[in-house]
Amino acid sequence: MLFSESLKKNTDFRNVYKNGRSYADKYLVMYVLENNKGINRLGISASRKVGNSVVRHRFARLVRESYRLHENIFNSGLDIVVVARKSAASVGFFEIESALLHLSKLHHIIKIYFYGDEEK
């Protein structure tokens, strides 16, 4: 991740959960909080209810990669925590990517580009 860091400390996660805004869809829950640091920090969480360690790590890799590919359209200065739902265990990359972008649009944290009359 070029413009971002990982969110690692438990206190940082709890701060985002407590003070941030949250939106959810079928596969993910996303919490967002401004951090006044000029860079984004991404945290990923998946409980044991989602699956074993292989499944949880795969989920984390999918979220990290989909964020990395679209990192340039995200606003700066945010703490973002992505939490897996049980249904996220059995889906592929494109579903996770779509869910991440959908929740980002709900939070208004991505820059939307217009090409002609189409929104991209």
The helix or strand, by DSSP H or E, that contains position 33, with its residue range, turns out to be: strand 28-34
| pLDDT for the residue 118 | 52
- Nearest alpha-carbon partner for 44 in 93, 8, 3: 8
| pLDDT for the residue 110 | 87
* Residue range of the domain that includes 42: 4-119
| pLDDT for the residue 65 | 94
On whether the CB atoms of residues 67 and 4 are closer than 8 A, the answer is: yes
How many structural domains comprise the chain? 1
Q: State both tokens at 49.
A: 């209810």
| Sites in the chain below the pLDDT cut of 50 | 114, 116-117
pLDDT digits (tens, 9 = 90+) for 23-44: 999 999 999 999 988 899 999 9
- DSSP-derived 3-state class of residue 83: strand
CB atoms within 10 A of CB 38: 8
- CATH number of the domain that residue 23 is part of: 3.30.230.10
CA–CA dist 83, 72 (Å, integer): 22
